[in-house]
Amino acid sequence: MDRIEKREFVAELSSVFAETSMVVVTQNKGMTVAEVTELRRKMREAGASFKVAKNRLALLALDGTRFDGISPLLKGPTALAWSTDPVAVAKAAVDFAKTNDKFVLLGGSLGSRVLDANGVKALSELPSLDALRAKLLGLLQAPATKVAGVLQAPAGQLARVFAAYADSKKGEAA
């Protein structure tokens, strides 16, 4: 990598850190190409990205961003995973770490808050952003459904009373 490529890489990584909400730092010592390819595929499916970066270049890109608290984690063979949905990247990383012993979670950062490996695991257990949106939408729609049911009930009861009264009159006439 020459100087121009390094500058472009640092600029690209800096722009990623400006746009994302969660960064997970991992250690991938001894992983095969097939395992890394599988990891990248799973990250893409979750809407996350995974990149092996030289620590020195990653530190330059982190400098001055809200994620600069993860700088101490960048020692040895590390890689970064990021996403705008914090739960998605955490879930993808934790799920892959369960199936591969060579993939180790070191920690991460949710905005300016630094998380250790247990914090990333706890975050992965939360429902995803889409699931939370669906739950919120369900909560918002439920009161409207209940109001419509309550307003409809008296009219239905009144109709049943009239039908019963009409049936009783028919019975008396016969």
What confidence category does residue 38 fall into, taking pLDDT thresholds of 50, 70 and 90? very high
Q: Provide mean pLDDT across the span 101-118.
A: 87
46 Cα distance to chain centroid: 8
pLDDT of residue 18: 84
Q: Provide mean pLDDT across the span 13-37.
A: 88
Q: Provide mean pLDDT across the span 6-35.
A: 87
pTM: 0.69
User: Got the DSSP string for 94-157?
Assistant: HHHHHH-TT-EEEEEEETTEEEEHHHHHHHHTSPPHHHHHHHHHHHHHHHHHHHHHHHHHHHHH
pLDDT of residue 158: 66
Give the tens place of pLDDT for each residue, 122-137.
888 887 777 777 887 7
Please check the confidence at residue 25 and state whether its pLDDT lies above 80. Answer: yes
Please check the confidence at residue 41 and state whether its pLDDT lies above 90. Answer: yes
Give the tens place of pLDDT for each residue, 142-170.
776 666 666 666 666 767 777 777 788 77
pLDDT of residue 10: 87
Strand partners, 113: 110
Averaged pLDDT score across all residues of the chain: 83
Please check the confidence at residue 174 and state whether its pLDDT lies above 70. Answer: no
Give the tens place of pLDDT for each residue, 51-84.
888 889 888 888 888 888 888 888 888 889 998 8
User: Got the DSSP string for 26-41?
Assistant: EE-TT--HHHHHHHHH
pLDDT of residue 85: 83
